[in-house]
Structure 1
Amino acid sequence: MTSPLAAPVRLTQYARGGGCACKIPPGELETVLAGLAGPVSAAGDGEPLLLGGDDGDDAAVLRVGDGRAVVSTVDFFTPVVDDAYDWGRIAACNALSDVYAVGGEPVMAVNLLAWPRDALPWEVAREVLRGGRDMAALAGCPIAGGHSIDDAEPKYGLAVTGIADPDRLLRLDAGRPGVPLSLTKPLGLGVLNARHKATGEVFADAVDTMTTLNAEAGRLALERDIGCATDVTGFGLLGHLYKLARASGVTAVVDSSAVPYLDGARAAVRDGFVPGGSRRNLAWVSPHTDFGRIAEEERLLLADAQTSGGLLVAGELPGAPVVGELVGRGRHTLIVR
């Protein structure tokens, strides 16, 4: 009997969107969540919840005493690539990134799986789970069970628990004027994944980027006493930077010529492979951004919805290009030059 995997399965054809580009638009999400977050601790007060409030932090962090904090996050999405094993690795890497983005260390995870059981073979689901397991193992984070449902669209991700030092966190609201901005992975993942979904072209560099853990970047940031960072995922570089600058009460200046891109990203935009999430990101940040003479193509790339992107760190990191700086609050929250 022929194995169901003998014929290639194009997983991206089973979902409307793909990866972090399928997120609810940031403006709509903020409207839904307004006023629902609990109180978050400021420096020196007694609230146990340190991160996870209205600023839209990358993960929730709860002080539990004795110099310890628990980190909790969840992330899942529809297929971003056709290869089942790679999708599992990418989804797990993306979920783990939220822990690194707040200065934590992942210690345990559980699977989240939605599967169209009448449309896709279970052997494909097994490959997705195997990819997630292997990526989590690389991070030293065991996966212990999880939850699954029958769904029309395949979805996969992790709920991750981590630990952190409550006095050494990476926060959105800790940015200060005069600090450089470093980006640890190139942009262009959204447009390349859109091209992959439409044409079947495989971009090995994009897969390598999406399966590179942000563990080292998070560790280096803490070693250098950096206190402000975020990861760049579905809201794009400009969307996540806007949240950071707004939370910190500063203006962020982006040097567009210094931003790194994956090979093929510019061609993908020129050829029209722009996910809807990237366009929604640009529409969200545009009223708060001075773009000067920056062309539409460049704006779309800066707002491109990334999946398992890098860390954006308010400070200098070895090997990471400096793509801008934080300055005193001006008329715009973002300035792109």
Structure 2
Amino acid sequence: MGSSSGALGSAYRLTQFAHGGGCACKIPPGELEEIVAGLIDTDRPDDLLIGLDDGDDAAVVRIEGDRAVVATADFFTPVVDDPYDWGRIAATNALSDVYAVGGTPVVAVNLLGWPRDTLPMEPAREVLRGGLDVARAAGCHVAGGHSVDDPEPKYGMAVTGLADPGRLLRLDAGRPGVPLSLTKPLGVGVLNTRHKATGEVFAQAVAAMTTLNAEASRAALERGHRCATDVTGFGLLGHLYKMARASGVTAVVDAAAVPYLDGARDAVREGYVSGGTRRNLAWVTPHADFGRVSEEDRLLLADAQTSGGLLVAGEVPGAPVVGELVPREATALIVR
């Protein structure tokens, strides 16, 4: 996997210390929306540019003229056994929320939960080292953080960034007639589920999860796009449904155009599908027209991703076009 943590990764299978893995351990989207439904401020101040309304990836607050602060937090249980790689993945995923709204990360603080009675502390050091290396590569400072003694290992970051309030990427800015681009292939969810069950290592999944979305975000902004999200725990279909709903449009997906990591289809066929992925599919099904699309394809499109790519309303160089936005039809999603 390109890890430099040596024997630490093999001595302790971190995924065996957690009931779920990565973004697949999120609270299901339907349940989460019920929880926060009464917490949305209907009288939102003008300087809160992106808040809780549509479930965007980060909060954005204007501080002066052409400057806005971006704030987000993201953490999860181990998605791979290697502690250094898990740290890199979790940090990449946390930084992604800033890129998903068009911002640049400036400073991050660590969030660490560790079962100190059942795991030694040295792997925790490797987790933090992985996060630090990714943040450095992103040009983002890491300044301390917070840790707790936790029955399950958890790691992530709270990240603060800056953005131009006139050049944001948001869920509610989609318009009919615009293509949809996906900047990373899908499939890390089913490969991670297989990894947890068998111990098999999938270097292609680790490579995808540790690729920063910085370049994709810059490319989207440079082309004048204003609608995007990152594809994480709710799967492509879940995040696309949120975009279509917020923008008042229907999203059409060309299932044959969606890219997948090597081994993803085999993993689905052999049953390595997380409960999070099945909950994602159940959540979007009442709002989708799947036509004759197979159950295998539906599961892959709903696969709970960890540190996935950006889903952009507009063309992005090097990213395949996987569908388009059209005027609102009977359902928010159409998969062909």
TM-score after normalising by structure 2 = 0.97
Give the match for residue 331 of structure 2. Answer: 332
Letter in 1 for 2:71: S
Separation of aligned partners in 1, 2:291 and 2:222:
36
Q: Does 1:144 align with 2:147?
A: no
Distance 1:63 1:204, change over 3 A: same
> 1:201-246: CA deviations, max 9, x gaps?
0000000000000000000000001000000000000000000000
Give the match for residue 323 of structure 1. Answer: 322
Q: Does 1:33 align with 2:42?
A: no
Q: Does 1:17 align with 2:49?
A: no
Separation of aligned partners in 1, 2:86 and 2:259:
24
Give the match for residue 154 of structure 1. Answer: 153
Q: Secondary structure at the match of 1:57?
A: coil
Q: Which runs of 5+ in 1 are unaligned?
A: none
> 1:139-197: CA deviations, max 9, x gaps?
00011000000010000000000000001100100000000000000000100000000
Contact 1:177-1:327 at 8 Å conserved across structures:
yes
Q: How does 1:203-282 map to 2 (within 5 A)?
A: 203-282=202-281
Contact 2:9-2:81 at 8 Å conserved across structures:
no
Q: Which runs of 5+ in 2 are unaligned?
A: 1-5
Contact 1:40-1:47 at 8 Å conserved across structures:
no
Separation of aligned partners in 1, 2:84 and 2:212:
16
Separation of aligned partners in 1, 2:43 and 2:296:
38
Give the match for residue 184 of structure 2. Answer: 185
Contact 1:40-1:51 at 8 Å conserved across structures:
no
> CA offset at residue 316 of structure 1?
0.2
Out of 298-307 and 50-59, give the one that drifted further.
50-59
Distance 1:6 1:22, change over 3 A: closer
TM-score after normalising by structure 1 = 0.96
Contact 1:19-1:77 at 8 Å conserved across structures:
yes
Letter in 2 for 1:51: I
Distance 1:323 1:245, change over 3 A: same
Contact 1:35-1:54 at 8 Å conserved across structures:
no
Contact 1:254-1:324 at 8 Å conserved across structures:
yes
> CA offset at residue 52 of structure 1?
1.7
Q: Secondary structure at the match of 1:92?
A: helix
Contact 1:185-1:310 at 8 Å conserved across structures:
yes
Q: How does 1:8-87 map to 2 (within 5 A)?
A: 8-39=11-42, 47-87=46-86
Separation of aligned partners in 2, 1:6 and 1:101:
31
Q: How does 1:275-290 map to 2 (within 5 A)?
A: 275-290=274-289
Give the match for residue 114 of structure 1. Answer: 113
Contact 1:39-1:49 at 8 Å conserved across structures:
no
> CA offset at residue 39 of structure 1?
4.7
Q: Secondary structure at the match of 1:163?
A: strand
Separation of aligned partners in 1, 2:9 and 2:226:
49
Q: How does 1:162-201 map to 2 (within 5 A)?
A: 162-201=161-200
Distance 1:7 1:166, change over 3 A: closer
Runs of 4 or more, structure 1, over 4 Å off, are none
Letter in 2 for 1:330: E
> CA offset at residue 66 of structure 1?
2.5
Q: Secondary structure at the match of 2:283?
A: helix
Give the match for residue 3 of structure 2. Answer: none
> 1:110-164: CA deviations, max 9, x gaps?
0000000011110000000000000000000011000000010000000000000
Contact 2:87-2:155 at 8 Å conserved across structures:
yes
> 1:301-320: CA deviations, max 9, x gaps?
00000000000000001100
> CA offset at residue 326 of structure 1?
0.1
Separation of aligned partners in 2, 1:322 and 1:40:
37
Identity of aligned residues (%): 77
> CA offset at residue 5 of structure 1?
3.6
Q: Does 1:89 align with 2:110?
A: no
Contact 1:40-1:49 at 8 Å conserved across structures:
no
> 1:75-105: CA deviations, max 9, x gaps?
0000000000000000000000000000000
Give the match for residue 128 of structure 1. Answer: 127
Separation of aligned partners in 1, 2:220 and 2:202:
29
Separation of aligned partners in 2, 1:296 and 1:217:
30
Contact 2:179-2:314 at 8 Å conserved across structures:
yes
Contact 1:4-1:123 at 8 Å conserved across structures:
no
